[in-house]
Structure 1
Amino acid sequence: MTTSPPMSSRRRLLLLLLLAVLAAASAEPVEDKAALLSFITQTRHLNRVQWNSSASACTWTGVTCDPSSTAVVSLRLPAVGLVGPIPPATLGRLRSLRVLSLRSNALSGPVPSDFSNLTLLYSLYLQNNLLSGPFPPGLAGLTRLSHLDLAGNNFSGSLPFSVNNLTRLSTLNLERNSFSGPIPSINIGTLKELNVSYNNLNGSIPETLSSFPQSSFAGNLQLCGAPLPPCPPFFPSPSPSPSAPTEPPPPAGPASNKKKKKLSTAAIVGIVVGAFLLISLIILLCICLLLARERKRKDGRPSTKPGPTPPPAVRSTDTGMTSSSKEELSGVVEAERNRLNFVGGGGGYSFDLEDLLRASAEVLGKGSFGTSYKAVLEEGTTVVVKRLKDVAVSKREFEVQMEELGRIDHRNLLPLRAYYYSKDEKLLVFDYLPAGSLSSVLHGSRGSGRAQLDWDNRMRIALAVGRGLSHLHNSARTVHGNVKASNVLLRPDLDSAALSDYALGPLFSFASAPSNRTAGYRAPEVVETRRPTLKSDVYSFGVLLLELLTGKTPDQALLGDEGIDLPRWVQSVVREEWTAEVFDSELMQYPNIEEEMVQLLQIAMACVATMPDSRPEVSEAVKMMEEIVNRAASESEGVGGASSDDPSKGGTSGGRTRPPPPPPAASSTP
């Protein structure tokens, strides 16, 4: 009888490894798979998400598992057409999740409270959806969070102090929501990027956040304090820490009562003595004033001897003055020197500098060249006053430039009405357009109750900007130099949208020009030279077209996880043949516009070409855009029969209102 030899330790080890490999190959995150299937079956979505329940969840689109395939660690479903609320008890069950990206969908409602179970979460991207409700309270317990992006939703309410619990946070993006109230004293040492712009926040910015740039707080008109302008004394201070100790009240007792009694007696004596001295001083001042007035009256009697006629500038019939002393004469000369100068007809305004200085003012925004104010004069006239900073030219050069700007006349260019120059102040006066800027309308908080900017209206605005810029280049022969969405001001008639802040660059030194001017809109060649040209205007116009198409801000901190600028992001998406992913989700609800959007995208990409010589002229881009509009109008008429472009006449163009044909260019004297 024979027996088999014992198995060697090496063979035993190989067998165990083989069994481990086979076990890993057959591993499946069963619980996480069930949670994902529950999520996708309860959420409306396009056919871009096709998960086969018979296959391993680790092979599904957007799903990443750990090396052992026993848990889901990453779920990325950006712009896949998810619609409606996030169902509870689904994604909150993915307890090993590190990265969750549901950005650029149409998710709505509040963030489920069971997101607090995702304690290992490192990055959460929910931007550009329709989510609402308060700041999700469950997120304050995710202490491992490093990146939190809730931008472009409709969250409201106050920002909680519990944000400080996120001690590892490096990026916090809450822009374009409806948060209100003061900003709490957020003090997170790892925080590198912060953006709370375009909300309804008010009060003073906490000192712990004063090192962040102005762009982090833009669009909150009632915010103040560094890095924004200082706060008036009536603004509330930032919310204190709930754990801040309060000073206990002084103990009450016989000793304190005795002290109060002694102080009260001393105070009474002081008040009596002070009142006596004050009354005596007032009587003495009255006597001195009476004596001085009498002496002046005697000295000011007209002489009976004939003398020279006073100069016209100081005659009493012209100025209301009663003396021709040197002080009064210098005051008249100074008043003439500091008068308000109207240009180009002045727009029918008839106020003067004193009226302007007495007007009530409200800060509208702080831009590249200075701060703009809404000024309401006493008689009710409303204008915009731009207070320039760091002007580097002489008074004569300033006046020449202002007179040239005053002669520019086009309905898509905001006209300059008046200017003021002194050693310490340089002011420009413009019409006030209450409809606001393209930036505020396009990037305002998204959600129910918000008026969306549909495709036809975006085309109207794009054509208006192009026509105004073309007039600057071809008729006025000047460079705009500052094309961006916040400088596109809207009128009720969107075909009359107007470009502002044009041709102001020559007033400033290129060496001292701010390097962050028009961030995201600058052409590559301007980044180093800081000298805008006609071709760099074309680049900025192309970025503006991309902004209208994508609904994204050009200087958005993160476009996905890549952190690239808008033109490069669009190029990367188009290169992968995901062109539909480029367009704003709000535009996808409008039928029969895909071809027009792709055509405008091609024009925009030509305008943002890296080499200036490869970019078209603005007039060429406008002509191509007009061809898109006219072609679409012709096709609509062919489908829907005869129609009218005038909405007031009840006509339609295949169910859509089309922009009117281009108007004749307004005349201008260069």
Structure 2
Amino acid sequence: MASSARNHRCLLLFCLLTTMMITSSYGQESEPALLIKFKSSLENATSSSSLGNWNSSVPLCTGNDSNWNGLLCLNGQFYGLRLESMGLSGNLDVDTLSQLTNLLTMSIMNNNFEGPLPNVKKIGGRLRGLFLSNNRFSGELPDDAFAGMKSIRRILMANNEFTGKIPTSLLGIPKLVELQIQNNKFNGTIPAFNQQDFQINAANNRLEGPIPSQLSTQSASSFAGNLELCGKPMAACATSKKKKKIPIVAIILASIGGLIILAIILFALFLVHKQRKKPTQYEKSSVKNLNKKPSVLGEEKYTKSRHHHHHHHDKAGKLYFVRRDREKFDLEDLLRAPAEVLGSGSFGSSYKADVPIGKPIVVRRFRQMSNMGKEDFHEHMRSLGKLSHPNVLPLVAFYYRREEKLLVTDFVDNGSLASHLHGKRNFNQPSLDWPSRLKIIKGVTRGLAYLYKELPTLTLPHGHLKSSNVLLDYKFEPLVADYALVPVINKDHAKQFMVAYKSPEYMQNERLTRKTDVWSLGILILELLTGRFPANYLKQGKGANADLAMWVNSVVREEWTGEVFDKDMNTTKHNCEGEMLKLLKIGMCCCEMDVAKRCDLMEALHKIEELKESDEEDYSSNSYSYASHQGEMYSSKAITDDDFSFSRNA
């Protein structure tokens, strides 16, 4: 009897547990069902081919590869959403997202979402990364907007229209290491973030007051464009003192003293004018202030010089704007703008300055342009100012002096192609994949072809094409820079540093042709495909052209293999080696040492335009493209146990 009763109780317990499991399973929707439900809340998602392969009959993941566009996978497990640049809009269904227990990172950057910030804290404390940049979100953020999100490490909300104060709930996130809120309309003061290794970018908002001492070691560019911010690393805050009552006698004496000083100044100016002394070198001292690295460029010297020699400023201290569609500023604005040194190259130094037009600009300072007269220089710059193409960095303004020149362009915040190919990357910055590299080389070639068309009288429409002169915007669209400078750079300096003078035809015969820029394009293609830095840019003397081109030729000559390609492109994911080989052949044809056998630019452009992201004809997915902001998305190669809740060896 006891045994029978015990068996009965075990059977009853088994039934109860089975019932609970069935009930639990019935109440919890599957991940595919939840994702499709989330998709239904998005506009343009159903019609968009980007999410067209979301199908509940297909597994989400196979190993580290996703079978659904826009999903991130590791060891067969879905862990993140990467819905970037898909033209999506609508309302984010955070209630459904909160049921995705494995969701650790989410990016909807570069889309068309608008309205108030979604209630992201509903997603829960397990989220590690939230990427909302480059949408049209707006309105004030509740102070508790991020309350309870204890595990989040990176929050990117740049380039939206958020207003109000920065939520103090961000202070309660112990693992937060990066916050990007630049180019919004936040106001008020900056909270005293005290997290370890914390980085913030709050540029171009309406913030005010002293910068917290905890953030004093951050880059000044992280706070630029906020006119009322002060304290390190920006300009010191003004100290206010209590007003004291001044005796009437003191006021009278000060007035008399002021009149005497004024009389002395007027007499001195009369003597200066009478003796026709050379004017003070205001212009030189002003431009020299660009060497300084404080947040305000030469404001003190400029102010003193301006009072004494204002007429000289009007004559020589003028910025010439070459584009009618741009808001103008004067030299005074430039010299007083918060700025930082970007670097020093073969032509001179570059500075990023935050002038009062709403966005930063770059000032390039040239000392090696003294071989051209003022009128010819002005004419050449005006011709460059007429250029307009999506892949050509526009010239905004210039400044002329015999000894040195300034060229002003827009600031491109994603750096150069060289920095992405050869710079150090941290764990959350994936390398450029094949679709992104193909997109870049197509844009570069289009920009170069445009220069050929618009500057037909120049033998070298570019003359200095290399990876450090290809800038990338936040969508990884390339912008060709430092073009058409051969006519204005001193020839001795050009021969020493400019890429065109490293070409085979110049090394062998001191000859430049309309195909010389094609050779530079070829070297750039090989650099893009191999990930190797071309020694062609550095060495001088005969044979300098041989390094990268010869290495590629030697590998290819032995066998057509993938050994030549940069492993960081992750080619197996895209099934693209056939297309890559086509581009490699185009690059080698552009690098042909014999100019007569070298392909011309339009032939290269036509062949490059035909290249696809995949060897498959109907490949159309860009969901794994690296067309996101540097450091704004996780890579499955870079997952650590600290960032995600499951082990890499799980």
TM range (shorter): 0.3 to 0.5
Higher relative contact order (CA 8 A, sep 6+): 2
Which structure has the larger Rg?
1
TM-score under structure 1 length normalisation: 0.45
